[in-house]
Amino acid sequence: MRVYYLTGSQIALGNIALRRLRISRFSDLNDPFELLAVELADKRHRAAFRKNKEQIDQKRGLLCFTRFWHNPLVWGHYAEKHTGICLGFDVPDELLAPVIYAERPAKIRIDPKTNMPILSEQLLNRLLRTKFSDWKYEEEIRLFVELDHKTRESGSYFYSFSETLVLREIILGPRCEIPIAKVRDLVTSFEQPVNVVKSRIAARSFRVVESRNESGLGQGT
């Protein structure tokens, strides 16, 4: 599946040059309900799920992608107000998990003997990819990664480009000031072709679209 990763221009250039992406941690994501999208009126239940979140955060990270790159909200929020860059990757479908957008936190099953939540594998798998429905504009899809603490660099973990993360597209944001020729030079040594284009805001819709010329001008939808 083709998925897209939006970030600031300098970070993107570093990603391309080093051929890797930084792995996100659940504790650093911008949604405070990550791994907590359940009804937690009981203080003991809240403590149990927060402990579970801490345990998962120590062992697992994720790469967050979007299905499409045309939404101006995504560019505004994740690509430094349209000055950044979008990287398009081919990733095997079986490694990707689409986010579930929920209107309300899920109800949890309680063990009648302990009066504590039952943290089933099914529930935990659902929590890994559940967000409040107002995040739906992101059309997020996730790749979960087991953390190898031996590879930690300055507190961060990275996932290298490979057959499971193949760079195929680079889209410069409408306000990106990086010369397109510079970006194209960065990918000349890649084994597979990488299409590098400039984007612009559409003339007849609320979309970010590919520009017909490198200046970002032109007509289109």
pLDDT above 90: residue 31 = yes
Instruction: Provide DSSP, 79-136.
Output: TTTTTSEEEEEE--GGGEEEPEEESSPBP--B-TTT--B---HHHHHHHTTEEEGGGG
What's the average model confidence in pLDDT over 196-203?
97
What's the average model confidence in pLDDT over 84-96?
98
Per-residue pLDDT, 214? 60
Per-residue pLDDT, 216? 47
- Of the pLDDT bands very low, low, confident and very high (cuts 50, 70, 90), residue 22 is very high
- Of the pLDDT bands very low, low, confident and very high (cuts 50, 70, 90), residue 212 is confident
pLDDT above 70: residue 221 = no
Rg (CA), the chain: 20
Which segment of 18-22, 54-58, 116-120 scores lowest on mean pLDDT? 116-120
What's the average model confidence in pLDDT over 96-111?
95
How far is it, in rounded angstroms, from Cα 217 to Cα 79? 20
Per-residue pLDDT, 218? 45
pTM over 0.85: yes
Average pLDDT of the chain to the nearest whole number: 94
Per-residue pLDDT, 105? 95
What's the average model confidence in pLDDT over 37-44?
93
pLDDT in tens, 109-134: 999 989 899 989 999 999 999 999 99
Cα-based distances in Å from 212 to 152, 172, 173, 197, 216: 42, 13, 14, 9, 7
Residue with tokens 């939006």: 6
Share of the chain above pLDDT 70, in %: 96
pLDDT in tens, 41-50: 999 999 999 9
Instruction: Provide DSSP, 148-173.
Output: -GGG-BTTB-EEE-BTTBEEEEEEE-
Q: What are phi and psi of 96, to 5 degrees?
A: -100, 145
β-strand partners of 65: 141
CB 90 within 8 A of CB 168: yes
Q: What token pair was written down for 135?
A: 């995040």
pLDDT above 70: residue 82 = yes
Which segment of 31-35, 197-201, 203-207, 217-221 scores lowest on mean pLDDT? 217-221
